[in-house]
Amino acid sequence: MPDLPDARFPVTRMRRNRREDAVRRLVAENRLSPDDFIWPLFVIDGDKQKVPVDSMPGVFRYSPDMISEAVQEAADEGIPAIALFPFTDPAKKTEDGREACNPDNLVCQATRAVKAALPEIMVVCDAALDPYTTHGHDGVMNGDEILNDATLEILIRQSVVQAEAGCDTIAPSDMMDGRVGAIRQGLDEAGLGHTRIMAYSAKYASGFYGPFRDAVGSKLALIGDKRTYQMDPANSDEALREVRMDIREGADMVMVKPGMPYLDILRRVKETFAMPTFVYQVSGEYAMLRGTVDRGWLDEKVILESLLGFKRAGADGILTYFALEAAKALNARR
C-alpha cells in the first residue's frame, strides 16, 4: 500500500467512515448473504424421524420423508444448496463399505426426495466410505493399511449412484490420491458429464471433527486415526500441491476443511488459483460457538462474525451448520 502524503492524522481521520450505519454499509469490503451458504444435513433411517445430535445442539438427523421440509425452510430463506450425510445402520456397515454404492441408500433416498420437492436446490453428496465401514475409515483396508487404488473403484460407483439419484455436485472428502480424476472419468463414462465435483482438496487430520463423527455414527467405529491420508495441520505448501492436482484432475470447485484454524490456507488457495473456493466450518467449530453462545459466554453476533471472516479470507461459499440461523438473521436486517 503506498504511503500517501496526506495519510496522516489529523488530516486523515479513519473514524469518519465509521460514524454512521449508512457509510459503514457503503464502504464495507465484504458482504455475507444466504447466497454464501451450503447447509449440511444428516439423514437417518425410518419415517417421521427428527433426531437431535447430542454433541451439536440445534442439529438434527432427518428421515428421508422429513428432509424436504427442512430444505424448504432453507430455500425460503434464500439458501441455494445443501449437503447430505448419512447415519448408517450399523447392521449395514461392512469392511468395504458396500452400502455406499447401494442406489437405495439413505443419501440416494434423501436426494431423490429433495430434488422431487425442490429441484432448484443444489444437492451436494459426499464421496467417502467412513459412514459405511465397520472400521470408520474413508477407504478399504488391508490390515492397518488404507488401500488407495482399491478405494477409488468404490468411490467411482458411489459417485455414479448418487449422481443418478439426482445429486448435482459430488464432493470427494476421502483424500485418496487420484480420486478426483477417477470420479470425473467415471461420471463422464456414465453419461453424467454435467455433474460437478467439489473437491475436499485441503482436508486436514483435525481434532475438530469429533461431533460430525458422532452425527454419522463413525466415532465409536473408528480404528486408529486418519493421518496417513488427511493432511498434517503443520503444512501449508502441501495444501497448494493438493489443490493444484485436484484442479488438473477436473475439480470444478475446491474446498478447505476445517475453516477457522485454516484461514491462512483459504487465503493462499484463493489467491493462487482463483478457483471457486469453499470452506467448511466443521462440527467442532459449530459446537464451540454454539456452546459458548448458549451459555451466554459470548454474544450470538460471533456466529455471523465467524462466517464473515471466511468471506474476508477468500471463500466463495461456506458449508456451515449455522446456515439456516445465519440466513434468518441476515434476512431480518433487510
What pLDDT, on the 0 to 100 scale, is given for residue 11?
A: 85
Length of the chain counted residue by residue = 334
- Sign of CA pseudo-dihedral 205, 55, 287, 124: positive
CATH 3.20.20.70 holds for 31-332: yes
Q: Where exactly are the structural domains of the chain?
A: 31-332
Average pLDDT of the chain is: 95
- What is d(CA 102, CA 117) in angstroms, rounded to the nearest whole number? 22
CA 222/CA 133 separation, integer angstroms: 9
How much is the pLDDT for 214? Answer: 84
Biggest alpha carbon–alpha carbon distance for the chain: 72
DSSP 8-state assignment for residue 133: B
Q: By three-state DSSP, how is residue 246 classified?
A: helix
257 an active-site residue? yes
Phi, psi of 210 (to 5 degrees): -50, -50
Cβ-in-10-Å burial (0-12, 13-18, 19+) of 10 comes to exposed
Question: Which of 203, 226, 270, 311 is labelled catalytic?
Answer: 203
Per residue in 221-261, pLDDT (tens digit) is 787 889 999 999 999 999 999 999 999 999 999 999 999 99
Contact, 177 vs 203, CB < 8 A? no
The confidence score (pLDDT) of residue 219 equals: 65
Q: Which of 110, 244, 223, 246 is nearest to 173 (CA)?
A: 246
Report pLDDT digits (tens) over 24-79.
999 999 999 999 999 999 999 999 999 999 999 999 999 999 999 999 999 999 99
What amino acid occupies position 314? G
User: How many whole angstroms separate alpha carbon 191 and alpha carbon 169?
Assistant: 15
Q: Pick from 143, 284, 153, 147: which is nearest to 223 by CA?
A: 143
Catalytic-residue membership of 311: no
Tally DSSP H helices, then E strands, for the chain.
11, 12
Say which residue the cell 469518519 belongs to.
16
pLDDT digits (tens, 9 = 90+) for 91-129: 999 999 999 999 999 999 999 999 999 999 999 999 999
Give the distance from CA 279 to its chain's centroid.
7
State the pLDDT confidence band at 215, using cuts at 50, 70 and 90. Answer: confident
CA 41, chain centre distance (Å): 10
Residues 1-25 pLDDT 10s:
666 666 788 888 999 999 999 999 9
Give the bridge partners for 277, in sequence order: 254
The residue from 93, 115, 226, 257 that is catalytic is 257
